[in-house]
Chain A
Amino acid sequence: MSEVRAEMVANVWKVVAAEGDSVADGDTLVILESMKMEIPVLAEDSGTLTKMAVAEGDVVQEGDLIAIIQ
């Protein structure tokens, strides 16, 4: 199981993957936006996305959970 966490304070701009999706290492899960820059958050594992912990418009802090892949 791997937890994907936010590396910095940012806004959640787009949620690209959904719970239940099969994801591969390198797939974009969400796109954050911080200071007018888009920051894709990528899966570092392959598996099933069992949890999407954020929604579009949320603000995440450094370390906040974004998704779980199992």
Chain B
Amino acid sequence: MLESVLVANRGEIARRVIATARRLGVRAIAVYSEADAELPFVREADEAVLIGPPQPAASYLDVAAVLAAARATHAQAIHPGYGFLSENASFAASVLEAGLTWIGPPPAAIDQMGDKINARNLMEQAGVPVSAGTHDPVADVAGALAAAELIGYPVMIKAAAGGGGIGMSAAADPAQLTAGFETARSRAERFFGSPAILLERYLQRARHVEVQILGLADGRVVALGERDCSVQRRHQKVAEETPSPGVSPQLRERMLAAAVQAGLTVGYRGAGTVEFLVDVDTGDFVFLEMNTRLQVEHPVTELVTGIDLVEQQFLISDGADVSFDPDGVTPSGHALELRIYAEDSKRFLPSPGTIKDWAEPSGPGVRVDAGYAAGNTVTPFYDPLLAKLCLRGADRSEALERARAAVAAFTIAGLRTNLEFHAELLRSAEFSSGDYDTAVVSRLRP
């Protein structure tokens, strides 16, 4: 097992990685910005290094500062969490060049999957289904209009180097495409450093279903089940569950096989997620993208498999076997995750502020991964995630019951949160039935 790990991240994911490290007797090192000095992840690490001011570019994204902190603390390995530097192939390469263990896939795999256009093309060649879309970056509006004629409207405009749902928009006709293209391009440049745009066929009714894979040290790739992440606002996930109520056993088998194929194609190592869209009307599925890191919603997979995915990441990065039998994974029960955001429940607008009260629910099947505690200040510099409220039940019905009780029992005062929205989601006929798609939130907020 690793001797030590520096977690190059913050908030709930840093806390969660540190918790596994400490459980396994691995020395845990945190890095933090001035804005995060009081957060739980800083005091729960064995050592913590201040690396800069609140702005991410000067702290969590500052490669030199992170590597300097690793040197100063004699860290053996670096875990990048999600977001920030986790899918930065050149950071991964720098970590390896520094003689440290990189807890993630080879830089080449990050590179190949980091560009959505390249990833789609690679998957298509590997026999993984992809939707109709562009094979090269779209240079200008004229190119976009021409491509859309071939793909067929409606189309989705996306940043090729993008993530987090940012910089995506749909266009139902040439006028909308013309209007949306330039906005998409400037956002892509601003947020992801590349103006490259791709277009894809937009599915009218789709479920976002992703598959958790692990690339083992011996080269095998195993799939640990799927997660339904269709509950989204602004193309960002708000709730996820496993198993997906919209996936039959036959579809599951095909999707898991496609995800394994995707992993093998890029020589994947470690934890990764292959994202698909399931066309509700036809029952077909298509590859969307691959995330070469741990996902926010990984706990639901952990709850039904009993596997600690961060522990597996540590083992794989160390060249060791995983702690479970890869041929014997049988998920049981149902798990749900609700992302508790610092935003109001009506319009989902950001609500930074200081937390006056914080009381988490507890009880059978309840798991809370919280980034903050009472007294902490939530600043505008980072994403709005306060905590992940996760529930496990013997079946979906029990998981939903536990979720309703847990949401009612969760108290966060001092800023606005989306707890009220989650209560509404859990009461809604559409979500309760399990028969929902990616437009479910828009129907709750017409």
Interface residues of A (CB under 8 A from B): 8-11, 33-37, 39, 59
Q: Which residues of B contact A9 (CB under 8 A)?
A: 352-353, 379-380
Q: Say whether B350 contacts A11, CB under 8 Å.
A: no
Given known pairs A11-B380, A59-B380, the reply for A34 and B164 (CB within 8 Å) is no
Measured between alpha carbons, how far is A9 from B351 in the docked complex, in Å?
8
> Which residues of B are interface residues toward A (Cβ below 8 A)?
164, 166, 234, 342-343, 349-353, 379-384
Q: How many angstroms between the C-alpha atoms of A35 and B166 in the bound complex?
A: 12
- Contact partners of B350 in chain A: CB under 8 A: 8, 10, 34-35, 37, 39
Chain B interface helix/strand/loop/mixed? loop
| Chain A residue nearest to B191 in the complex (CB) | A36
Contact A37 B352 (CB under 8 A): no
Residue numbers in A under 8 Å from B166 (CB-CB): 36
State in angstroms the CA–CA spacing of A12 and B383 once bound together.
Answer: 16
Q: Which residue of B234, B380, B384 is within 8 Å of A33 (Cβ)?
A: B380
- Closest chain B residue, CB of each to CB of A7: B349
Q: CB-CB < 8 A to A8: which residues of B? A: 349-352, 380
Q: Is the CB–CB distance between A35 and B164 below 8 Å?
A: no
Q: A10, A36, A39, A59: which contacts B383 (Cβ < 8 A)?
A: A36
B343 contacts which of A10, A33, A35, A59 (Cβ < 8 Å)? Answer: A35
Task: Say how far A54's CB is from chain B's closest CB, in angstroms.
Answer: 14
In the complex, what distance in Å separates the CA atom of A13 from the CA atom of B388? 29
Residues of A within 8 A of B380 (CB): 8-11, 33-35, 59
> Which of A11, A35, A59 is in CB contact (< 8 Å) with B384?
A35
- Residues in chain B near residue A39, CB distance under 8 A: 349-350
Contact (A35, B234) CB under 8 Å given A9-B380, A11-B381: no
Q: Which residues of A contact B379 (CB under 8 A)?
A: 9
CA–CA, A37 and B384, complex, Å = 9
* Chain A, residue nearest B186 (CB): A14
Which of B343, B350, B380 has the most CB atoms of chain A within a 10 A radius of its CB?
A: B380
Residues of chain A with a CB closer than 8 A to B164's CB: 36
